[in-house]
Structure 1
Amino acid sequence: MIKYMRHIFIFIVVWLAAGTICSFAQYKPDRLGEGFEAKTIVMPDDYSGKVVTTLVRSLSSCDTHKAVLYVHGYNDYFFQETLARTFNDSCFNFYAVDLRKYGRSLLPEQTPFEVRDLQEYFADIDTALTLIREEENTDIVLMAHSTGGLITSLYCEAHRNDLPVQGLILNSPFLDMNMNWFYEKILVPIVSAWGRWFKG
């Protein structure tokens, strides 16, 4: 009897865990309102613990296989409802990712925007693109603002031999510090080197 009870207990635990995972990974109505949905995806833990990324979508009423993936900038998240609807009206399914530790993806006790290497965000973009392709979108364009422009440029450079998107649109990308020679050639490298030794 105890043996059967143990099997029943294990079955219930697995069933509840599976239900929790499934519900966590499904689209739910988003804070932007009608037509917007968001899906939270659990990512591998990093140096500060649990990590998630969030994919927001607004689907076009057209029969289309074209999509845009929007990546926000620093101290930001996706909230540009008009931008999404403009792409929808132009027969693009619109997606946006709230990167780890930003906006919808910021978890309690996390330090907002904490990152030690911009390549950490590549996993979030890869995950978003995989899900977008799974939803039968075959032509995908990346669009990014500010620091997102830097992240996506580095992402495309890293994947230059097998680019997973058909284009890149940059809106006010943060590609240069726009500082004088002393700051860019002397001060910034010194601070960067200092940061490698004292990561906190």
Structure 2
Amino acid sequence: MPNFSALREALAGQAARRSIRGLPPGAVLPRLRLLTTAELLCPAPPPACAADLRAEVEAVCLAAQRMLRRRDGWLRFVCGADALPVLARPALAQAAVLAWLRGALLAGAEEVSLVCAGQGDGVRLSLSGGADPQGDAAALLEHLAREAGGTALFLAHGAFGAALRLPRADGLPLRTAPRAEELLADRYALPRLYLDGFCAEPEL
């Protein structure tokens, strides 16, 4: 298995040196994105706390709306009002949604939509629109479903679409999800890694 810690430390050093010189992260972000995806696709021990899928998804979607060079309404998302606890890593949930968005942007999708809601005794996450040219979105979404103990279905043809059915993890401590503002303020937060190159605002 690759030494992810050493690779991340080396990239962090590159980023720090560029920051000191007043330069944008540049090629560091694509490398960090690939490293992050590789890390998240590796097996991991069960999280001690449940992730609130509704809050995690809502935070990255709100951050994406503010960051992307797209018309209003390009990203349509609906999240329930209540917490939706699932036993999966929050970073994996965020990255799966953001990789799907990146695939849609690369494919030039005119509109994409996402629904995250309770469904009986489970949680449903549905995404439609765009494409998955690099394979990251499908791999991350499938891994998210597997980690949470659920299932993932994908459209066989046409535009990219996925539907995840995940069991609820009620009764476990619930991790507090980040707010969109926190993700926007962090130059190495997942939205910046996965949406790099498509942002309307200047890179930090």
Q: TM-score range by the shorter chain?
A: under 0.3
Q: Which entry has the higher C-alpha Rg, 1 or 2?
A: 1
State TM-score, norm by structure 2: 0.24
**Of Structure 1 and Structure 2, which has the larger fraction of its residues in strand?**
1
